[in-house]
Amino acid sequence: MSATRSIVTGGGGAKTPRSRKKVEPIYYLFLFPAVILFTLAITVPGIIGIFFSFTDSIGIGEWEFIGFTNYIAAFSDPAILTSFLFTFGFALVTVILVNVIAFLLAVGLTAKIRFKMGLRAIFVIPMVVSGIIIAYVFAFLFQNSLPAAGSALGIPFLETSIIANPDLAWVGIVIVTAWQSIPGTLLIYIAGILSIPGDVYEAASIDGANKRQQLLRITLPLVAGYVVINVILGFKNYLNAYDIIIGLTNGGPGTSTRSIAMTIIRGFQTGDYAYQMATATLFFIITIIIAVLQLSVTRGRSNI
Amino acid sequence: MSRRKTGALRAAAGALGLALVGAALTGCSSGGAETVHFTFNKREAITFMEQTVADYNASQSDYRVVMDTSGVDPISASFVRGNPPDIMLANYNHEVSRFVQRCVLEDLSETEPASRIRDDFQPLLDQFGTCPGRTTALPYSVMAASVIYNKTIFEENDLEVPTTWSELIEVGDTLKANDIVPFYGTFADAWTVNQGWFDYSVGGAIDVQSFYDKMAEQGTEVGPNSEVSFQKDFLEPIEKMQLLASEYTQPNAGSRAYDVGNVAFANGEAAMYMQGPWALSQIELTNPDLEIGTFPLPMTEDPADLKVRVNMDLVTMIPEEASNKEGAFDFLDYLFQPDIIQAYNESQLGFVPTEDGTAPDDPRVEGMIPYYDAGAFYQGPGILNPRAIPTENYAQALALGTNAENLLRTMDADWARIAFRQPAISSEEGN
């Protein structure tokens, strides 16, 4: 809010000179390549895609307009509806889990502890490994190592692989996704916590606040902006979940872990172009609604 | 100064030369031989086909065949651009059949090879859709698949190859009583369930061909009250499959993948394995001495119902927009010369689809030859279902014990929904 206000006042103050002076053409030059590329690679194909969602095209050959038929079919298609349900549920659970763990880790890693730097480096390692590799490694762990350990130790719960269980496979995907994305979130939290000036804590401890009160009353409110960033970025990433699911369960067992991105891409691979274009359009509209909601909820909460 | 100039000139000339070579490679080659673009991407057979192409190029001087192994997706893109290959040899499935359905391929019915192809394959090809009045895809290699079994384990336990469902259960019970796993399950890989367990069970029990013809006729009407439906016709075989999958496999079947299964079967960890002939070469890598046989999965009490699963592993197609059709037809004739088509299929354990072809001489596929020769075969429902139905995932869920009635009802609803939104295609499928 204050940022917006300052821009407005700044603009008001400089009004007279700016309206007379021409804007430096160099600014347009900076923007030009990006705008052209974005238009060619994202906007134009996007509009073409939305156009084709109203046809029966399979990607090649002739096609006809069929109006909203694809959309009507999509709304009664359990494969699409459950993939939406799965993806949003998964994104919600993962975003909460990742942020809680990353925040607590960040608090720990910014405290005065030994081997701080070494520990930070270790915690960041998962970030540099590609998602598909992580997924294949964890698939092996879930399918072979854990069941072997389970039967050796006599823990019946571990003896069957959780990613072979249609009701629990999503838990495996949440675990692996969280494992991979906690470091990125953690780094942002560490930066946030380090940016809090030390004298605030000093003042708090003089006033008699204990560590827990400092955490809840000072650290948490002062990193609120970073929480917003992490939640928005994380949620966006998890809605696009693809590579980890491919490597871990490939949408299975059955159809229990098919994400929206997977459903759409499968459609393209199987000559179901127009139909999955309709799904993609629906997904686009829903994410826009979410983005607008997120913006309106977070606006004013932070200066980011 | 002048030296630098010549350097620049030379660089420019070099670039021009490269561009010319590139143009020559894509267009006509300089030697007078016209280039024929040939698409082929069956990974296991690329070395063999490279040799065939080299032999052809050496045998004549009019055409020079260039082989492209990049796969189906680039081919689709090349059709969209109006620049398709001149001749294709590809696995026949719903993706490739789009070219047939949309009539973008040459009619091959008048060619000499077409007259030699066995008649009973055309209905199988037509199940994927047709272009009325044209024969656009000629089968080149047919793969037959059925249950793979370990002959040594069968002999040690005095077991005969079962020919009825109750004999199969007896075999399974005997093996279990002797602490041998009857079937090795690799349910972690959904496709393995689809092409083996699901296809063999349904194909062994019902008439797949007429089932799908009727399904296509019914279109949006498919449901609990239609004449044929997944929930009615598939239920019994699927429940039998679920019995085999739950009672006659190793305990961790749900978390075992294809590669693990090949090694385990090669090491004698189970007596039977539901995989196609492609697994044979993988098993051979681990244990070259293993004695292997094949038999069709018995699903009824009548041995006359036994059938093997086939798929059109390779078909030949020539696009209408091919730039060098004469060359393509010439190479087509060459590929279908009896000794060449025979040698190719021999090398891949495939069956020759021509009248005069002979079956591969290999004990591992011996058990399927009588059924193939008699025309007792079917195409798997797993590949006949429209690709928009996630059949692989459904088959996996069924093998892991999902309620069959519910799932088959979902499949019926999926079918009706596709017929609703793509009426043109599903009616073409009925032709």
Q: Is the pLDDT of residue A119 over 50?
A: yes
**Cβ within 8 Å, pair B187-A164:** yes
Residue B427 has pLDDT above 50, yes or no: no
pLDDT for B20 equals: 47
Burial of A275 (0-12, 13-18, 19+ CB in 10 A): buried
pLDDT of residue A5: 41
Q: Provide the pLDDT for residue A9.
A: 41
Give chain A's end-to-end CA distance (angstroms, integer): 9
Taking an 8 Å cut-off on Cβ atoms, the answer to whether A147 and B257 are in contact is no
Domain ranges of chain B: 28-142+313-365, 145-310+376-430
What is the predicted ipTM? Answer: 0.71
The Cα–Cα gap between B335 and B64 comes to 14
Q: What are the tens digits of pLDDT across the range A205-255? A: 899 888 888 888 889 899 988 998 899 889 989 999 999 999 998 887 888
Q: Does A73 touch chain B (CB under 8 A)?
A: yes
* Predicted local confidence at residue B15, as pLDDT: 52
Confidence of residue B98 (pLDDT cuts 50, 70, 90): confident
Separation between Cα atoms, residue B416 and residue B215, nearest integer Å:
9
Q: How far apart are CA B364 and CA B57, in angstroms?
A: 34
In tens, the pLDDT along B381-399 reads 988 888 888 899 899 999 9
The residue of chain B nearest to residue A54, with distances taken between CA atoms, is B421
Size of interface A-B (CB pairs under 8 A): 112
Interface membership of B257 toward A (CB under 8 Å): yes
Q: Are B28-142+313-365 and B145-310+376-430 the same fold in CATH?
A: yes
Q: Per DSSP, what are the bridge partners of residue B148?
A: B273, B294
Buried/exposed code over A241-266 (b: 16+ C-beta within 10 A; e: otherwise):
bebbbbbbbbbbbbbbbbbbbbbbeb
Across B90-94, B122-126, B166-170, the highest mean pLDDT is recorded for B166-170
Average pLDDT over residues A34-62: 89
B193 to chain A, any CB pair closer than 8 A? The answer is: no
| CATH code for the structural domain at A77-298 | 1.10.3720.10
For A26-45, write each residue's pLDDT tens digit.
888 889 999 999 999 999 99
Task: Return phi, psi of residue B189, to 5°.
Answer: -100, 110
Q: Average pLDDT of chain B?
A: 87
pLDDT interval class at A92 (50, 70, 90): very high
For residue B74, the model assigns a pLDDT of 79
Percent residues over pLDDT 90 in chain B: 62
pLDDT of residue B4: 46
The per-residue pLDDT for B53 is: 94
Token pair for A227: 């929480």
- Interface test mutation site (partner A, options B255, B389, B408, max chain A beta carbons within 10 A): B255
Beta-bridge partners for B138 = B316
Distance CA A241, CA A264 (A): 12
The arithmetic mean of pLDDT across residues A264-271, rounded, is 81
Hey, is the C-beta of A150 within 8 angstroms of any chain B C-beta? no
- pLDDT by residue (tens digit) across A170-209? 999 999 999 999 999 999 999 999 999 989 988 998 998 8
Class of domain B28-142+313-365: alpha beta
The pLDDT of A135-149, averaged and rounded, is 89
Model pLDDT for residues B246-281, shown as the tens digit of each residue? 999 998 898 888 999 999 999 999 999 999 888 998
Superfamily of domain covering B145-310+376-430: Periplasmic binding protein-like II (3.40.190.10)
Question: With an 8 Å Cβ cutoff, are B400 and A254 in contact?
Answer: yes
**Residue B296 DSSP label:** P
Q: Dihedrals φ, ψ of A274, to 5°?
A: -65, -40
List the single residue in B80, B94, B400 with the smallest CB-CB distance to A271: B94
Chain B contact for A253 (CB, 8 A cutoff):
yes
Using a CB-CB distance cutoff of 8 angstroms, which residues of chain A are in contact with residue B98? Answer: 58-61, 271
- Confidence band (pLDDT; 50, 70, 90) for B309? very high
Share of chain A above pLDDT 90, in %: 42
Which chain B residues are Cβ-neighbours of A56 within 8 angstroms? 421-422, 424-425
CA A80 to chain centre: 20
Residue of A nearest to B410 (CA): A78
Judged against a pLDDT cut of 60, whether residue A303 lies above it is answered with: no
Residue B80: list chain A partners with CB under 8 A: 59-60
Q: Is B268 on the interface with A (CB under 8 A)?
A: no
**Confidence band (pLDDT; 50, 70, 90) for B245?**
very high
With CB atoms and an 8 Å threshold, state whether B394 touches A275: no
State percent of chain A over pLDDT 70: 91
Q: Which residue of B has its CA nearest to A264?
A: B388
Which residue in A70, A255, A275 is closest to B390 by CB distance? A255
The token pair at A123 is 């915690």
The residue of A70, A262, A270 whose CB has the most chain B CBs within 10 angstroms, and thus the best one to mutate to test that interface, is: A270
Average pLDDT, chain A: 85
Chain B residues touching A60 at Cβ < 8 A: 76, 79-80, 98-99, 102, 104
**Residue ranges per structural domain of chain A:** 77-298
User: Would you state the torsion angle of the CA atoms of residues A171, A177, A180, A182, taken in this order, to the nearest 10 degrees?
Assistant: -80
**pLDDT average, residue stretch A272-278:** 89
* B95 to A59: CB separation less than 8 angstroms, yes or no: no
Backbone angles phi, psi at A89, to 5 degrees: -60, -45
Q: Among candidates A174, A186, A194, A193, which has minimal Cα distance to A244?
A: A174
State the Cα–Cα distance between residues A106 and A182, nearest whole angstrom.
10
pLDDT of B6 strictly over 80: no
- Structure confidence at residue B368 (pLDDT): 93
Question: Which residues of chain B are within 8 Å of residue A58 when distances are taken between CB atoms?
Answer: 98, 425
Please determine, for residue B26, whether its predicted confidence score (pLDDT) is greater than 60. Answer: no
Closest in A62, A258, A269 to B102, CB measured: A62
The whole-angstrom separation of Cα B35 and Cα B327 is: 8
Where do the H-state alpha helices sit in chain A? Answer: 2-13, 15-20, 25-38, 44-52, 69-75, 78-110, 116-128, 131-140, 146-153, 156-159, 169-194, 198-206, 211-214, 220-222, 224-239, 243-248, 260-269, 273-298
Question: What average pLDDT score do residues B161-165 get?
Answer: 95
B52/chain A closest Cα distance in angstroms: 31
- Residues of chain B found within 8 Å of residue A272, distances taken between Cβ atoms: 387-388
Bin B20: left if φ > 0, else alpha if -120 < ψ < 50, else beta.
Answer: alpha
Residue among A291, A265, A236 at smallest CA distance from A87: A236
**A82 close contact with B: CB closer than 8 A:** no
The alpha-carbon gap from A78 to the nearest alpha carbon of chain B, in Å, equals 8
Element (H, E) at A302: none
pLDDT digits (tens, 9 = 90+) for B193-228: 999 999 999 999 999 989 998 998 898 999 999 999
By C-alpha distance, the chain B residue nearest A267 is: B388
CA–CA dist B411, A229 (Å, integer): 42
Smallest Cα distance from B5 to chain A, Å: 34
Best residue of B260, B421, B425, B428 to probe chain A, by most A CBs closer than 10 Å: B421
Q: How confident is the model at residue B411 (pLDDT cuts 50, 70, 90)?
A: very high
B187 in A contact zone (CB under 8 Å):
yes
Contacts of B393 in chain A (CB under 8 A): 251-255, 258
